[in-house]
Structure 1
């Protein structure tokens, strides 16, 4: 099978389309025009070296293009336009056409929605974002904002209602309040205070922070992040503290056990 050939005009049309649609992937463009994506990259590189044009942007001789398309319909855009009853001037005018005011407005709104969504730590959905936009002077509806969020893959991450996670077990026969709220120790590593809380992170979202503080220096000597409240995660934090301090003496571990 012979290798398909393409006119300079067809190449230039593909290059202009890519430049006018920067958000569309090269793979999608190659499928739309029936050429390999590596070929599209090659044409873009050639156009870049020639100030955005493929050689001389074609000879303008439509009859030669038509003749080439008769032998290989995929080699020229001319035959495709003729079959679709579309003029060349109209086709290239479409490729160079600037976005309408509505598209520009939608693009600006999408940018602002992304900013509000990020500022809310990805919690706000369409209702709250709509109210913020309306206060800023934008005339938008909740339905329109929701549609823009869906088109741009912007989703609200809702926080689950607070649930009690501390198990109310009877430790009275095994655990005792040794410190009796006397948190002023006389030496390091006499008593450690532990706690668990949840925090928001940029990459992982909400996670649990396990921390251990030496009551003498009030310094955090160990901490770990986890996605669950499993006992193993707490024990990892304790093992880290033991490894850091290297103490052989007994240490009092103080925890509030979830009591407020």
Structure 2
């Protein structure tokens, strides 16, 4: 159904209609009917004509004043749009990620082309020539790369920044520079999740239990699996209360080889994580160094005995020195930035399920690590055992 077009009248038509009403000895309704105009419309014209004749500065606006007000409002809106577009253009163009025509094309739904050309001092013909140009090979590549970047970012659970996305593109066979990836990510509005500072308060180092020597001494490199493990604990907030997580990480592949979660920080928490690690890993023939902080859980006689039974050498950080266990601290920073901070866990059970899936599926098997050549931990271990011609320990 076609919508009826609204009828518009000139000032001359309005003035003549008012004169006809004033000079005719007829009701307004009859004159309106004869002219084919709504009665309320004619009444409005008569009322406005009286206002125009009085021209009272303190009274209602005259027709001329109404026109001027409409024009001023239109001009104000135009100036505000120019200001808003200029601020946006200055920000994006100065970063070097956008060209002027690209910016105009992206913002054409928000601002008129004529206005943007005026602000940027460009000719409209230049913009339309750019729009109708043939797509260059470079632009075709950018389109393909943009699709790949978006896909990789989604597969990373929206956590990867330009270094990891660049590495993932190289692994897929794309020849592309890091800066180009960064520019395309900026256009797509994609970025890595930002870390925020958090204070670790799970270490109880005020005790009289024996402390092991710092054998690891910040040597976080390893040439074979199960030669050096680092361990630590952290806490995760839920609406039910704190959930505590203990992990053990292999320094060779950065794989979490053992973990445990509970609503307490007793020695059983870290013991269960050690049990999980030893359930599928065998210490290297050259020996295994187990490094942790000085917490009472790790210094307890039961835990040290468990390490002794498995012929594992104990190593501990210096007092109040988190850098001695930087790998474990870094893991918890990643966990909280990429998983914990963006959500609120309703229950401890829900948090356990989500964190267990993140560790075993995403972190160990999918998430690439810059320290190990942008490979996933399990992927690195598979390559290691394949090179030795031996089956991998899962």
Pairwise TM-score range, normalised by the shorter structure: 0.3 to 0.5
Larger radius of gyration: 2
Using the size of structure 1 for normalisation, the TM-score is 0.33
Using the size of structure 2 for normalisation, the TM-score is 0.23
More helix by share: 2
